[in-house]
Amino acid sequence: MDLAAVLEKSRNLRRERNFNLAFDYIRNVSMDGQSELKELIWQHNPIFWKDISAGICTLTRRRGEDAPLMRELWRNSDFIYRFHRHAPKLPASDVDLRRILNQEMCSLVSETRAIHWIVRDRQGTPWGLLSLCELSIVHKRGEVLLGVVPGGPPGIAAAAMLIMFQFYFQVMKFNKLVSLIHLDNTRSIKGTMHLGFVKEGLLRSHVHDPRTSQFIDMVQLGLLKEDAFRSGNQRLMQRLLRN
């Protein structure tokens, strides 16, 4: 069977949220390109769509049902400024927004190069967003964005990152995680470095700030697997991720 037909079949199954069926279909399909098939099997693993829970935090894939939450977060200008200063505007139509969110959620990593989660507490209350962007299967590298509204359980932002570290490095088996932070966001830089990220460089006048209309610097920080599971993070995992 040719690749286009295989992808169309699997896409239809994923649109119906039959992720297990899509996985079984890909595993049993007959294709000439074995390397392509191996990668497709990896991308169709149902774990990409399952909730990830540990301790005080649960990560759930962002989807159409989260449209009201997305509206609420995008109306919070302080949250958006911290999470993504150049976040695109949401579509005016709720129907369009739900369609986009569902399409995004059902897509493969190679199609969107991103994975987006809602950060929730033990009771399922949403507190923010965690996104992996610019994912490169070839280079095993991606960029992380995290935004949490005030008032959440203490440590929930760190817990979300630590859960993601386990998924990213141990399940996806990626090699490096990058965080690009505005130089004026000293609190975020400090918190990110506390989790093991290392400063790799300064990007001078790298982005235009929508509030100040100035071009501002950004700091690039990087994290490797050995940094993600260093002793300090292991202690945090014991404290925040124990059930």
H/E run at residue 155: none
Based on the fold, state whether residues 227 and 108 are members of the same structural domain.
yes
Cβ atoms of 35 and 41 closer than 8 Å: no
Span 127-174, pLDDT tens digits: 999 999 999 999 999 999 999 999 989 999 999 999 999 999 999 999
User: Do both 29 and 73 map to the same domain?
Assistant: no
**Residue 217's pLDDT band (cuts 50, 70, 90):** very high
Sequence-distant contacts of 93-100: CB under 8 A, at least 24 apart: 94/67, 97/64, 97/67, 97/70, 97/71, 98/64, 98/65, 98/67, 99/64
Q: What is the CATH number of the domain that holds 119?
A: 3.40.630.30
Q: Same structural domain for residues 88 and 39?
A: no
Instruction: Specify whether 11 is located in the same domain as 55.
Output: no
- Model confidence over 10-45: pLDDT tens digits? 999 999 999 999 999 999 987 666 677 889 999 999
Element (H, E) at 131: strand 126-136
* CA–CA gap between residue 59 and residue 52 (Å, rounded): 5
140 and 91 co-located in one domain:
yes
- The three-class DSSP label of residue 182 is strand
126 and 210 share a domain? yes
* DSSP code per residue over 37-83: HHHHHHHT-GGGGS-EEETTEEEEE--GGGHHHHHHHHH-HHHHHHH
SS3 of residue 198 by DSSP: strand
Domain residues for the domain of 179 are 51-240
Q: Fill in the DSSP letter of residue 11.
A: H
pLDDT tens digit sequence for 77-135: 999 998 998 899 999 999 999 999 999 999 999 999 999 999 999 999 999 999 999 99
**Same domain for 46 and 133?**
no
Q: Quote the tokens at residue 212.
A: 């100040």
Q: Are residues 38 and 98 in the same domain?
A: no
- On whether both 8 and 67 belong to a single domain, the answer is no
* Predicted local confidence at residue 33, as pLDDT: 61
Residue 143: strand, helix, or coil:
strand
Cβ neighbours of 224 (radius 10 Å)? 14
Instruction: Quote helix, strand, coil % in the chain, to nearest 5.
Output: 45, 25, 30
Domain check: are 114 and 228 in the same one? yes
For CA atoms 134, 137, 141, 145, give the dihedral sign.
positive
